[in-house]
Amino acid sequence: MPRYVCGPAAKVELEFWGIPDIIIERCCYTHYNAFNSTLKALNRLEKDRHDSFSSRKSQMIHEIRQNGRNFRDMHHKFLTTQIHQRLQRYE
């Protein structure tokens, strides 16, 4: 198989004519199958990137929630302090 022939195009052509890819000689099979190996690597990379993004997204949501809780707690403490100070004025 010449190097300029696209592996996936050759595969489609072989399938069209009903020719099994087993007949491709070992020396040509690497070139023929290179696209599949590249595609698998790209799919794995995309999955890892997606998993990493999902992990970062979960971490960001956790941080936002934590910041919200901190703000709520700080606001509650502030209100409690103000109420306590005003009550002390009347004692």
Question: How would residue 91 be classed by pLDDT, with cut points 50, 70 and 90?
Answer: low
For residues 16-21, average pLDDT: 90
- The per-residue pLDDT for 72 is 74
Residue 59 amino acid letter: Q
- Describe the chain by its helix, strand, coil percentages, rounded to 5: 85, 0, 15
> In whole numbers, what is the pLDDT of the chain averaged over residues?
79
- The per-residue pLDDT for 71 is 77
